[in-house]
Amino acid sequence: MSLTNREIADIFEQIAVMLEIKGEIIHRVLSYRRAGETVRDLPRDLRAIAAENGLTEIDGIGKTLAEKITEMLETGKLEFYERLKGEIPLGLVDVVRINGVGPKKAKLFWKELNITSVTELEAAARAGKLRDLAGMGEKSEKKIIEGIEALARQTGRTPLGIALPAAQAILDQLLKLPGVVEGAIAGSIRRGRPTIGDVDLLVASDDAEPIMQAFVSMDQVGRILGHGPTKSSVELLNGLQVDLRILAKERWGTALNYFTGSQAHNIRMRELALEKGLSLNEHAFSPVDASKNIIEDAPKILCNTEEKVYATVGLPWIAPELREDSGEIEAAQAEKLPNLITLADIQADLHMHTLWSDGRNSVREMAEAALERGRRYIVITDHSQYSAIANGLSAERLLEQQEEVRLVDADMRPFRVFHGVEMDIRSDGSLDYPDEVLVQLDFVIASLHMSLRQERSVITQRVLNAIQNPHVDLIGHPRGQLLPDREPADLDMDAVFAAAQKHGTALEINANPRRLDLSAEYARRAIELGIPLAIDTDAHAPEQMDLLHFGVLTARRGWVPAASVINTWPVEQFIEWTKKRGR
DNA sequence: GCCGTTTTCGGCCCGACTGTTTTCAGTCG
């Protein structure tokens, strides 16, 4: 009956599009759009916030939107939305998703040709009925057909683990071109978002056109979406969209800042600039007069570094991972930016698999691979018996494995190899080993793998059972999401956090880019509550240990300092912490 | 629709590219 955060976010975003088609003032539209985005990324259940009368304390939610949220939570419906659907066909929301079609065109097609869906639009375009409309022509009609085809191919957002290497490969090619002084991946990849819409690349050069020509001519380019002298967009053969901007080196700071975003962060930066009598764009700061018009003959301020951009608006440099307008500007102003964790802070990997269950390498091979990568200690954590499909270990085999782990540990000192397990939390809520077994291990992870779609109270209780067990040290990939498509389990995270806080149980940020679970938003909430975190690779083979940086990126997005992460600790501190926990 | 030690009303960031236009609206990021 009651709607979820995600469903409410969807409705707000649909309302924004419908209002825009209707011709509402853009700022009212943007209020709904921003509210949708905020609700989507919220690390708490709206039901819990509403119960505390805290809805209007959410940034961008005022009295009106709070009332609408309350109505949806209480009735499962929104009268305003239902009425709007009577005025503006809902199918137009999808029409606007077509590249090159915005609210004005959608309204034109609807009013002139009674088109209310993508299917109807495609039929009209193929029949040549669009070209005679005002402001349309043959080229526009063709672009719409291409846009519809691209939309059908599109599989949604791309996981960071795929996008980052793809972006790096293109950038590496660009960096080899003559005249390229500098290059960087910008956009949501640089900010470490778990999934990305398109790839944003930035290059510094004084001679942009030949570089741009080389870019749109690359082998992996399937289609050119736009091609100007300093800005181009292409669709790669694998479907990924890549945007490239080229600016002069002396503008690198403003350009990188602008192109990294987020859009919300950029808006705040530009507002701060205006307060100082400056207009900020990707090229420079320009002095403005009282009515905010650029003073043409006043000297502009160029910034070749981001540090200079931030300094010009009176702020210290802000790490890209924080640039979401989620408090980082205020923290910077108060000189209270977090001291973010870095990859170099990580001392250990507490979650990995071997040939004993579904890993591809031996205990010794995994230990040597971790040592090569600079880790100082690891925990071997194979699957427990309930995960039969992953060759999970019976209690007997688990203790057999312990002998092997002890041998490798003795051989490799001072590098340490501890013996743990990734124990299933069974569907009925029980744990997969009795306490007598758990007490013999150095470290215990408990994870959900099965029955992830159980109803909220049932699946939440499973996790609580694990957190409350004094032998369980860490909850692995707590919400069970798989990017980009598998939704997390319907856990009551307020209850999970409260229990973890009470029992001192750690929560994992699983670094595998398919997981990144906890997400940054939840990680941020966890550290605010003083809950310890661990960043682990869950490696099933040595090369997967190289994915650790994705977990660190996610932690940084969650404002996590090193001290909150147990595997940044020296081994003695780690041992002491586990001993305090009932073994 | 939100928001406020400059405001409870009147603001709310900025530019590149495209296709259709004879100077610009629409779209996108």
Distance A271 CA to B11 C1' (A): 12
pLDDT for A543 equals 97
> Within 171-230 of chain A, which residues have Cβ less than 7 Å from strand B?
187, 197-198, 200, 226-230
Q: What is the pLDDT of residue A485?
A: 79
Eight-state DSSP code of residue A201: E
Instruction: From the CA of A325 to the C1' of B11: give the distance in Å.
Output: 20
CA–C1' gap, A187 and B11, in angstroms: 29
- For domain A343-580, the CATH architecture is Alpha-Beta Barrel (3.20)
Residues 10-69 of A with CB under 7 A from strand B: 25, 27-28, 30-32, 35, 56, 59-66
Residue A49 has pLDDT above 70, yes or no: yes
- Fold for the domain defined by A5-153: DNA polymerase; domain 1 (1.10.150)
Closest CA to A195 of A548, A544, A478, A554: A554
pTM for this one?
0.93
Residue A583 — pLDDT band, cuts 50, 70, 90? low
Q: What is the pLDDT of residue A582?
A: 67
Token look-up 């980052």 returns A164
Per-residue pLDDT of A103-159, as tens digits, reads 999 999 999 999 999 999 999 999 999 999 999 999 999 999 999 998 888 777 899
A314/B6 CA-to-C1' distance in Å: 19
Confidence of residue A517 (pLDDT cuts 50, 70, 90): very high
Q: Which residues contact A219 (CB under 8 A, 6 or more apart)?
A: none
Q: Which nucleotide is nearest to A67 (CA to C1')?
A: B1
CA of A148 to C1' of B17 (A): 20
The answer to whether A287 CB sits below 7 Å from nucleic acid chain B is no
Protein CA at A436 to nucleotide C1' at B12, angstroms: 63
Q: What is the pLDDT of residues A381-424, one digit of tens each?
A: 999 999 888 899 999 999 999 999 999 999 999 999 999 999 99
Q: Which residue is nearest to nucleotide B11 (CA to C1')?
A: A27
What is the per-residue pLDDT for A237? 87
CA distance A421 to A474: 10
Angle among Cα A343, A344, A350 to the nearest 5 degrees reads 70
- In three state form, how does the secondary structure of A204-234 look? ECCCHHHHHHHHHCCCCEEEEEEECCCEEEE
Q: Which pLDDT band holds residue A538 (cuts at 50, 70, 90)?
A: very high
- Distance of C1' in B19 from CA in A266, Å: 29
What is the tens place of the pLDDT at every residue in A252-305? 999 999 999 999 999 999 999 999 999 999 999 999 988 888 888 899 999 999
CB-based contacts of A556: which residues, under 8 Å, 6+ apart? A192, A319, A321, A322, A340, A341, A520
**A104 beta carbon < 7 A from strand B?**
yes
CA–C1' gap, A63 and B8, in angstroms: 14
Q: What is the mean pLDDT of chain A?
A: 95
A290 nearest nucleotide via C1' and CA: B6
Helix (H/G/I), strand (E/B), else coil: A92: helix
Q: What is the pLDDT of residue A389?
A: 80
Tell me the fold of A260-333: Beta Polymerase; domain 3 (3.30.210)
Name the residue closest to the C1' of B13 by its CA. A267
Give the pLDDT confidence score for residue A478 in this predicted structure: 97
Residue A222 (CA) to nucleotide B15 (C1'), in angstroms, measures 27
Distance CA A322 to C1' B12 in A: 23
Query: Tell me, what's the pLDDT at A230?
Result: 94
A370: tokens are 């971790």
Which chain A residues in 130-169 sit with Cβ < 7 A of strand B?
131, 134-141, 143
- Residue A464 has, within 13 A of its CA and on its CB side, a CA count of 15
Q: Which nucleotides on strand B sit less than 7 A from a protein beta carbon?
A: 1-3, 6, 11-21, 25-29
Q: Where are the domains of chain A?
A: 5-153, 158-247, 260-333, 343-580
A271 touches strand B (CB under 7 A): yes
Topology given in CATH for the domain delimited by A158-247: Beta Polymerase; domain 2 (3.30.460)
**pLDDT given for residue A153 in this prediction:** 82
- Residue A282 CA and nucleotide B14 C1' are separated, in Å, by 9
